[in-house]
């Protein structure tokens, strides 16, 4: 039998928790509940302060929690409070960093320079802070982006700005989104490196279309390396990504999702494949392995 517990003497200050909070215990996640308890204890509803003190992934996470508790009735708009200061929409060149009373600004500037491994000039720092205050990017997302472009050898704020355009197109808004996106990017790089090795080429020479095709094989069609190797056997002298894409596209349309199914469909046996690496010369005109793949892969043009 496990240990039986009882409530200990608080031995200090206590905080009254409305029953409303308890009624939402089964509906909210841990961060949302922590925000409610923090507000009750500190009487503070500033999302930046809450995010910092609770170690939330982003200020937006604190905002979402505050909005939830407002809808639940725990919080209400303070009509008598002065309107929250909204940063004036100025260009990055007009930002006076010394006049900005925001603790995240100094952290952002310091951490970005650490990620780049070099000091940034005044104009670069203004541009970086502008991405935060004017463009609305959260500091954690900006720092993840700085680390990513630095990893690729692009240690400039301009590179960060260009990369953020791609991130926004990919739906990145929060730190969690950015981390998920970076995991996907890393996985795609590994697939491209693996495929380049199979094709006997340098990963850096792969075109944008070829990179998208390789990602599609894995992400959308769920083909593994063994299927790519099998398609290369059928490609014979046509060892290009575009040609192999045509073969894999045909197999997918026929419902052939693994090597066993592919070999069972054609005339080649595993022994013949391993022994020769080539398909027999004489095959029926409609044989799976001797068809004209140009008709397949010409359907899709390179961007």
Residue 142: CATH number of its domain: 1.10.10.630
Q: Are residues 66 and 128 located together in one domain of the fold?
A: no
Instruction: Say if 178 falls within a structural domain.
Output: no
Instruction: Examine the domain organization and report whether 208 and 279 are in the same domain.
Output: yes
In a domain, 39, yes or no: yes
**Amino acid 100: pLDDT:** 64
Query: Do 244 and 232 meet the contact criterion of CB atoms below 8 Å apart?
Result: yes
Contact between 38 and 64 under an 8 Å Cβ cutoff? The reply is no
The token pair that represents 293 in the structure block: 């793949």
Q: What is the pLDDT of residue 101?
A: 64
Residues 138 and 213 in one domain: no
Across the range 258-285, mean pLDDT stands at: 56
Task: Give the pLDDT band (50/70/90) at residue 52.
Answer: confident
Q: Is the pLDDT of residue 112 over 60?
A: yes
**Does residue 85 belong to any structural domain of this protein?**
no
CB 128 within 8 A of CB 108: yes
Q: DSSP alpha helices (H): ranges in 138-174?
A: 139-151, 157-169
For residue 56, CA distances in Å to 8, 34, 61, 140, 228 come to 29, 10, 7, 10, 43
Q: Are 117 and 150 in contact (CB under 8 A)?
A: yes
CB-hemisphere CA count at 13 Å for 75?
Answer: 21
Q: Is residue 180 part of a domain?
A: no
Q: How far apart are alpha carbons 79 and 198 in whole angstroms?
A: 66
pLDDT higher than threshold 50 for residue 77: yes
- For range 29-58, the mean pLDDT: 88
Confidence bin at 94 (pLDDT 50/70/90):
low
pLDDT digit string, tens, across residues 126-143: 999 999 888 889 989 999
Domain encompassing residue 51: 19-72
pLDDT of residue 285: 44
Q: What is the mean pLDDT of residues 100-123?
A: 86
Mean pLDDT, the chain, whole residue set: 81
**Would you place residue 114 in the very low, low, confident or very high pLDDT band (cuts 50, 70, 90)?**
very high
Neighbouring C-alpha atoms within 13 Å toward the C-beta of 185: 16
Q: Is the dihedral of CA 121, 123, 127, 129 positive or negative?
A: positive
What pLDDT score does 286 carry? 46
Q: Which has more pLDDT, 110 or 87?
A: 110
Q: Is residue 287 part of a domain?
A: yes
In-domain check, residue 181? no
**Residue 88 has what pLDDT?**
47
pLDDT, tens digit (0-9, with 9 covering 90-100), for 233-247: 988 888 899 999 999
Domain count, the chain: 3
Chain mean position to CA 101: 31
Domain assignment of residue 163, yes or no: yes
Share of the chain above pLDDT 90, in %: 42
Q: Is the pLDDT of residue 150 over 60?
A: yes
Query: Are 108 and 147 in a shared domain?
Result: yes
Together in a domain, 66 and 150 = no
Q: Are residues 204 and 291 in the same domain?
A: yes
pLDDT 10s digits, 184-202: 999 999 999 999 999 999 9
Whether the model pTM is above 0.85: no
User: DSSP class of residue 302?
Assistant: -
Please give the pLDDT value at position 294.
53
- Phi, psi angle pair for 239, to nearest 5°: -85, 70
Confidence of residue 11 (pLDDT cuts 50, 70, 90): confident
Asked if residue 4 is part of any domain, the answer here is no
Same domain, 96 and 68: no
Contact of 109 with 116, CB cutoff 8 Å: no
**Residues 50, 104 share a domain:** no
Using one digit for the tens of pLDDT, what is the confidence trace for 154-180? 999 999 999 999 999 888 988 899 999
Q: Is residue 102 located within the same domain as residue 51?
A: no
Domain match, 100 and 169 both: yes
Evaluate if residue 59 carries a pLDDT over 90: no
Query: Does residue 264 surpass a pLDDT of 70?
Result: yes
What pLDDT, on the 0 to 100 scale, is given for residue 269?
Answer: 41
Which segment, 12-21, 72-81, 227-236, is predicted with the most confidence on average? Answer: 227-236
44/126 same-domain check: no
């Amino acid at each position: 039998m496990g240990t039986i517990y009882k409530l200990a003497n608080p031995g200090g200050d206590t905080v009254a928790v409305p029953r409303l909070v308890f009624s939402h215990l089964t509906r909210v996640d841990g961060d949302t509940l922590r925000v409610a308890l923090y507000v009750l204890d500190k009487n503070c509803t500033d999302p930046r302060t809450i995010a910092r003190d609770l170690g939330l992934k982003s200020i937006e996470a604190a905002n979402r929690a505050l909005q939830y508790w407002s809808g639940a009735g725990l919080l209400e708009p303070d009509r008598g409070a002065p309107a929250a200061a909204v940063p004036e929409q100025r260009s990055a060149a007009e930002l006076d960093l010394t006049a900005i009373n925001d603790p995240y600004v100094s952290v952002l500037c310091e951490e970005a320079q650490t990620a780049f491994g070099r000091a940034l000039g005044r104009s670069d720092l203004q541009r970086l802070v502008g991405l935060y205050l004017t463009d609305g990017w959260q500091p954690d997302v900006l720092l993840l982006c700085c680390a990513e472009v630095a990893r690729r050898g692009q240690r400039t704020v301009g590179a960060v700005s260009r990369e953020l355009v791609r991130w926004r197109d990919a739906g990145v808004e929060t730190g969690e989104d950015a981390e998920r996106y970076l995991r996907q990017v890393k996985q795609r790089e590994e697939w491209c490196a693996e495929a380049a090795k199979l094709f006997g080429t340098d990963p850096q020479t792969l075109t944008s279309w070829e990179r998208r095709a390789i990602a599609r094989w894995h992400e959308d069609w769920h083909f593994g390396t063994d299927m790519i190797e099998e398609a290369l056997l059928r490609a014979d002298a046509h060892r290009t990504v575009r040609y192999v894409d045509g073969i894999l596209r045909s197999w997918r349309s026929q419902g052939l999702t693994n090597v066993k199914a592919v070999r069972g469909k054609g005339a080649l046996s595993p022994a013949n494949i391993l022994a020769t690496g080539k398909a027999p010369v004489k095959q029926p005109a409609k044989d799976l392995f001797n068809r004209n793949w140009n008709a397949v892969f010409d359907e899709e043009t390179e961007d």
